[in-house]
Amino acid sequence: MAETVSLPLQRWQRQLIALAWISYAAYYLGRVNLSPALPAMETDLGLSKEALGLLGTGFFWTYAIGQVINGQLGDLISPRRLVFFGMLASAAVNLAFGFSSSFALLLLLWGINGYCQATGWGPVLRTLSNWLSGAQRRRIATLFGTSYVLGNAAVLLFSGWLVNRWGWRAAFFVPAGLLALMACFWWFQVRDTPEERGYQRDWTLEPNALAAFNLRAVLAGMAGNFRRYWPLSLAGLFVGFCLIALNTWVPTYFVEEGGVAIDRAAALAALSPIAGSLGVILSSGLVNRFFAGRELYGLVGTLAGLILLFLAFPNLPAGLTLATLGLMVIGAFASATSSLTHTTLPLVLGDRQNASTLAGLIGFSINMGGGLSTLIVGGILDRFNWDAVFYALAACALLALLLVTLAATRRL
């Protein structure tokens, strides 16, 4: 039977979609702001790049753990409350971070922030699933996916401008205030279900498969999927290493190698996630057309391209324009690879019961690998140079390719 939605409810749905889009993009105010601040923090606090990279390690590891826990909590308790308190807590941590100079305190705060930031994606999606029918959710899926791409790019631009104008601490003070305002706006404008606004749904709500919060069951499901899909899980580790290393350190690259101010460096770095969104769309279409039923081989192709790009980049002629274009192409391939690994493969390889758990497992691997990358790349930069970074990224992409090839030959 066709799904019908009353006009008053449709107005609330449109408002909720817009607010959910803005809210998730706003989360990036409290996480991407670290990247443009790194060069100034290195100078002001006298920290090594390895130490600064450890901040990212703390963030991404607690973020990975938080996604496992909060993804389940969002199905069991009010996602409105989770988003509100998570965003407010992230704002408080960012404010405290801006006042801090002790490395130990910075590390603790940014690790806490990782968990707070993990209250975003799952609970926001749960809110949308409460308000929208299945057909409506499918129609807005691509649109909603642009929230993190444009949020990432916008915050890079904004944070770079703040650092250049008022110093690195401003890149945490100002986003903290904006996050707190956004949290309050979310709290007063959003309700968990249409019924809380006095509307009845004209479609059947999909039942919640979780009767109670059972972290042991969640971890057992992830462990079971790891035993079956361990090559892809480990590949996710190396894919995350490549993607998050780029997202974290590219502004520093433009400052050091391009010789530009941090606001311009952040603007150039913002082009990479935008190119990445185009890479995701293009790769999805090409894989669906030429590798339907053989998606693993499509992933082999993007990884092979990424390896070649990483190897070629250090040998490009000197120049800011070529470096920017090169990093945009690398960003497109890295984002396409991550999307195929994290989104497409769980959908085509997992059955209805374990597709979500498999996606969670691979997402966990990507973030754990990303946490390693910020530390290791910082250490490489302290001891060697940027060429060594790109060769290390090529090695990681090669390891991911070998693991995906193994998965393909095992016919996972």
Confirm whether 260 is domain-assigned.
yes
172/296 same-domain check: no
304/162 same-domain check: no
234/186 same-domain check: no
Q: How far is CA 19 from CA 16, 26, 144, 186, 313, in A?
A: 5, 10, 11, 7, 40
Confirm whether 337 is domain-assigned.
yes
Q: Which string of b and e fits 220-254 if b means at least 16 CB within 10 Å? A: ebbeebbeebbbbbbbbbbbbbbbbbbbbbbbbbb
188/229 same-domain check: no
Q: Are 64 and 240 a contacting pair, CB within 8 Å?
A: no
Q: Is 230 left (phi over 0), alpha (psi -120 to 50) or beta?
A: alpha
> What distance in Å separates the CA atoms of residue 272 and residue 254, rounded to the nearest whole number?
12
162/79 same-domain check: yes
Confirm whether 201 is domain-assigned.
no
**How many domains are contained in the chain?**
2
92/44 same-domain check: yes
Angle (nearest 5°) at CA 389 between 386 and 392: 155
242/167 same-domain check: no
Question: Which among 148, 170, 192 is the end of a domain?
Answer: 192
Confirm whether 206 is domain-assigned.
no
168/228 same-domain check: no
161/229 same-domain check: no
356/253 same-domain check: yes
> What distance in Å separates the CA atoms of residue 377 and residue 381, rounded to the nearest whole number?
6
248/393 same-domain check: yes
Which two three-digit tokens encode residue 349?
Answer: 């390889």
Please give the residue range of the domain that contains residue 237: 224-412
175/235 same-domain check: no
Confirm whether 48 is domain-assigned.
yes
Maximum separation of any 2 CA atoms in the chain, in Å: 65
Confirm whether 60 is domain-assigned.
yes
Confirm whether 246 is domain-assigned.
yes
pLDDT at 190 (0 to 100): 85
Provide the CATH number for the domain around residue 395. Answer: 1.20.1250.20
The pTM of the full predicted model, rounded to 2 decimals, is 0.88
pLDDT at 210 (0 to 100): 42
Q: Which residues of the chain fall short of a pLDDT of 50?
A: 1-2, 208-212, 352-353
Confirm whether 149 is domain-assigned.
yes
Q: Which amino acid is at 409?
A: T
pLDDT at 209 (0 to 100): 43
